[in-house]
Amino acid sequence: MIDITMNNELKNKFLTIFPNLLNSFPAEPNYVKESRLKAIDALAAVPFPSSKDESWKYSLIQPLLVNTYSLPGNNFPSVKTSPPPVIHPGHFPDGALINGYYCIDGIGAGTENNFMLKSLSVAAGKNDGMLTSSFSVNGNADHSFFSHLNTAFWQDGIYIEIPCGKKTTKPVEINIISQGERILSQPRIFINSAKNSHAEIHIYFYGSDEGNSFTNLVQNIHLDENAFLNLVLFRSKDDNDILLNSTEVQQETGSHFISHIITLNGKWTRNVINVSLLGKESRAELFGLYTPSGDQFTDNRTRIEHRAPNASSNEFYKGVMDGKSTAIFNGKIFVGRDAQKTNAFQSNKNLLLSDRAVVFSKPELQIYADDVKCTHGSATGSLDEDALFYLRSRGMKYETAKKILVQAFAGDIVAGVGSESLKNEILSLIAGKFNS
């Protein structure tokens, strides 16, 4: 075990241990090794995040610095561990990552043959070209310290493929779990939606039972022509785990991508998603919901690149904030010169239940094509007093009226989650959270 403290020293420590780590993956194909080397060079060139950095300007960095973390051993999963926590009683996930390693026990029997799911390091051994670019330094959504760190040091991950024309009959479920005290894990997920495929994938971030893990997740997603993917990234456990999640999506012609990034709880979360609309008539819909309370921090950053004509993007992010929580929404829309007839829409709304909660909402538009339609809007307010009184005048207790208004506010963000059970779970968790 190697102890790592999250500060400027961290980088030097990582640079020192890197050669050893490289040797510990002897079977790794060359392109992966090279990507690690390039990432370590990139890492050497960037400083540890600070408020001087534009993309970290309003982020709370201090909570990242307080703990010392252990890198999990590389002999996992032969290490004896308890079975993964049951997140949804009664059924197994289709895939699980524990401390960044692919988990072979306690996962679904794989009765469905409409998708393939395997260890990312196994998949990387059979280089099919697509993975090569995903490991490149530029393939990171965040282009930041932590994405480079992941590319250099990722342990393992999950590879999912929805083959040509296949459609999953139920959501593919993946659990991301940490076990042990103060574990730093760096998993990767690669989703390959082949032509005309159709899938819904749920990624549950569980963190650790101890509630003090640090997860630096990178996801790469590719949608081939006319593929459809509805991705849900869900965090709900109330703990001190830290989650950095950086998702890079590339879309080909006619593909349709939907994301639901839902952060109901957790000390510290940073969700970065970049979508590149590379093919014409591709369509991206990004939904986000964050409900921090206490001193929780949620940072959502989106970047949509319109690179082809007749593509559309819709973004709806909503926050319900209580206590002295802090949230950031930063939404960038880039429309390239060739992306004529682009239709881009962005909206961020925040409901503040406390006068000590702080939200930073920032749209950024960069448009280089002349025939485009781009709209954006941001609104922040407190609970509507008139609506509260209206509900109460009909016999609802104050708490019930508040719960109903919060649920209604959040409801349209989760409306597009295909799974009814998850949708209801999210809404009842929100109701439970603000039930006082």
Partner 1 sequence: MLIIKNLKASVNGKEILKGIDLEIGAGEVHGIMGPNGSGKSTLASVLSGKPGYEVSGEATYKGKNLLELPPEERAAEGLFLAFQYPVEIPGVSIINFLKTCINEIRQYRKTGPIPPKEFLSLIREKQELLQLDTNFINRPVNEGFSGGEKKRNEIFQMAVLEPALSILDETDSGLDIDALKIVSNGVNAMRTGNRSFLVITHYQRLLQYIVPDFIHVLSNGKIVKSGRKELALELEEKGYDWVREGRRQETGNRGK
C-beta of 65 vs 408, nearer to partner 1: 408
Contact between 379 and partner 1 by CB under 8 A: the answer reads no
Helix (H) or strand (E) holding 362: strand 358-367
Q: Select from 105-113, 179-187, 233-241, 406-414 the region that touches partner 1 (CB under 8 A).
A: 406-414
389 lines the binding site for partner 1 (CB under 8 A): yes
Name the residue type at position 24.
S
Residue number with CB closer to partner 1 (334 or 434): 434
Q: Closer CB to partner 1, residue 176 or residue 405?
A: 405
Nearest of 413, 407, 335, 409 to residue 375 by alpha carbon:
335
By CB under 8 A, is residue 384 in contact with partner 1?
Answer: yes
Q: Out of 412, 421, 424, 432, point to the residue binding partner 1 (CB under 8 A).
A: 412
Asked if 130 is part of the footprint of partner 1 (rule: CB under 8 A), the reply reads: no
Q: Which of 46, 137, 396, 429 binds partner 1 (CB under 8 A)?
A: 396
Question: Under rule CB under 8 A, how many of the chain's residues touch partner 1?
Answer: 23
Of the candidate spans 190-198, 209-217, 307-315, 392-400, the one that interacts with partner 1 by CB under 8 A turns out to be 392-400
Shortest reach from residue 291's CB to partner 1, in Å: 16
Q: Does 54 bind partner 1 (CB under 8 A)?
A: no
> What Cα–Cα distance (Å) separates residue 353 from each residue in 110, 323, 380?
44, 8, 11
* 420 lines the binding site for partner 1 (CB under 8 A): no
Residue from the set 194, 359, 405, 417 that interacts with partner 1 by CB under 8 A: 405
Closest separation between CB of residue 412 and partner 1, Å? 6
Cβ at position 327, least distance to partner 1 in Å: 21
Stretch that binds partner 1, among 91-99, 257-265, 273-281, 378-386 (CB under 8 A): 378-386
Residue 344 near residue 369, CB atoms below 8 Å: no
Beta bridge partners of 117: 160
Kindly state whether residue 400 participates in binding partner 1, applying the rule CB under 8 A: yes
Q: What is the DSSP string of 37-91?
A: HHHHHHHHHSPPP-TTSGGGTTS--HHHHS-EEEEPPTTTTSS--PPPP-SSTT-
Q: Given candidates 2, 21, 130, 404, which one binds partner 1 under the rule CB under 8 A?
A: 404
Q: What minimum distance in Å lies between the beta carbon of 392 and partner 1?
A: 4
113 vs 34, 96, 161, 284, CA distance in Å?
33, 18, 11, 27
The smaller minimum CB distance to partner 1, of residues 21 and 388, is found at: 388
* DSSP per residue, 212-267: --EEEEEEEEEE-TT-EEEEEEEE---S--EEEEEEEEEE-TT-EEEEEEEE---S
Q: Which is nearer to partner 1, 362 or 392 (CB)?
A: 392
Question: CA 266 to CA 246: how far, in whole Å?
Answer: 17
Among 407, 419, 425, 429, binds partner 1 (CB under 8 A): 407
- Residue 408 touches partner 1, criterion: CB under 8 A: yes
Helix axes 8-23, 145-153, angle to 10 degrees: 20
Q: Strand, coil or helix: what is 137?
A: helix
Query: Kind and range of the H or E element at 201?
Result: strand 198-208
Alpha carbon dihedral 131, 132, 134, 137, in 10-degree steps, equals 160
Q: Judged by CB under 8 A, which of 19, 390, 421, 424 binds partner 1? A: 390
Q: Which residues bind partner 1 (CB under 8 A)?
A: 384-387, 389-398, 400-401, 404-405, 407-409, 411-412
